[in-house]
Structure 1
Amino acid sequence: MTRIDFHSNVADKFNYTCRLIRKAHAANCKMVVYHQDRAYLQQLNEALWTLAEADFLPHVMLSDPLSAITPIILTHDERAACPHYELLINLTAAMPANFAQFQRMIEVISADEADKLAGRERYRLYQQQGYALTHSVAK
């Protein structure tokens, strides 16, 4: 069963996500980052190339031919087949359709009131379905 971690009260969701990806990659974790907005993913794609000179974060869009051998996948398609199912980072206000295929999912919840409400609702839904949940508040 998927382990679900909520990271809430995130002041800057974009930068927090970049740091989270870097940390997960340093732990040799293969991940899929999901956001429904292609423009947001393109900004994330560019940021990951320039995050820090010392860091190399190999990433591609799911549609890229190299996605099968790349540890960090960016996608806007929640129903697409992924090359790996270790970690899903959900950046949306909705429950991803394929989250149960992943070993672990991290829900990143900003300090925005609408995002908080959507996050609380997803937390309740996962809880009702019996998923193992953890919660940490960003500092």
Structure 2
Amino acid sequence: MTEVAFHFNIPERLRYVSRLLRKAVAHSESVVLVAAPEVLQQVDHLLWQLAPTEFIGHCLLAQPEQAQSPEARHARLWLMSDVSQCERHDVLVSLLPEVPAGFEQFARLIEVVTLDEQDRAQARLRWKHYTSRGYQIVRHDVQVRG
């Protein structure tokens, strides 16, 4: 069964995701980020801004068939808007407002939730979805309180 984790209270989503992806890639064979196409473009841009020593080999896949390319096969990180037919099954990081179709094929799912009320409300619905299907959820409250 997929291990589900929620990372709550993220003040700067894309900056946090950039760090999270670096950690996930360091500890996993493969990582897939699922998000809307415009968000994937922003993440791709951020990843290219990393220092050479922090760079993550990644591939932005606009269409699922692009996963067959030699560049994609060697990348440790895939950026995709649809993972229902994904060949990778290690870690899935989701920035979608809904439950990602096909998440069950992954060993681990990480949901990233910001401080925005609408984002939090959508996260509650996803949480209910997972718990109603018997998934045990790990909660990480990221915001530092002073």
TM-score normalised by L of structure 2: 0.88
Question: Take 1:29 and 1:110, find their aligned partners in 2: how far apart are those partners?
Answer: 27
Displacement after TM superposition at 1:132 (Å): 1.9
Q: Give the corresponding residue for 2:73.
A: 68
**Number of positions where the alignment pairs a residue of Structure 1 with one of Structure 2:** 137
Q: Give the secondary structure class of the aligned counterpart of 1:134.
A: strand
The one-letter amino acid paired with 1:120 is R
Q: Give the corresponding residue for 2:140.
A: 136
The one-letter amino acid paired with 1:42 is Q
Q: Give the corresponding residue for 1:27.
A: 27
1:106 is aligned, of 96, 106, 110, to 110
Q: Give the corresponding residue for 2:48.
A: 49
Question: Take 1:88 and 1:125, find their aligned partners in 2: how far apart are those partners?
Answer: 17
Question: Take 1:29 and 1:19, find their aligned partners in 2: how far apart are those partners?
Answer: 17
Q: Give the secondary structure class of the aligned counterpart of 2:9.
A: strand
Alignment partner of 1:116 is 2:120: yes
Identity among equivalent positions (%) equals: 33
1:92 is aligned, of 96, 114, 118, to 96
Deviates more, 1:126-135 or 1:60-69: 60-69
Q: Give the secondary structure class of the aligned counterpart of 1:84.
A: coil
* 5+ long unaligned stretches in structure 1: none
Residue by residue over 1:74-99, the C-alpha shift from the partner in whole angstroms, topping out at 9 and shown as x without a partner, is 001232x2231100000011001100
Structure 1 consecutive aligned stretches of length 4 or more whose deviation exceeds 3 Å = none
* Cα pair 2:28 2:91 within 8 Å, conserved: no
The one-letter amino acid paired with 1:19 is R
Displacement after TM superposition at 1:26 (Å): 1.8
Question: Take 1:97 and 1:9, find their aligned partners in 2: how far apart are those partners?
Answer: 24
Deviates more, 1:38-47 or 1:7-16: 38-47
TM-score normalised by L of structure 1: 0.92
Residue by residue over 1:17-76, the C-alpha shift from the partner in whole angstroms, topping out at 9 and shown as x without a partner, is 00000111122441100002x222112111111122321200002325122221100001
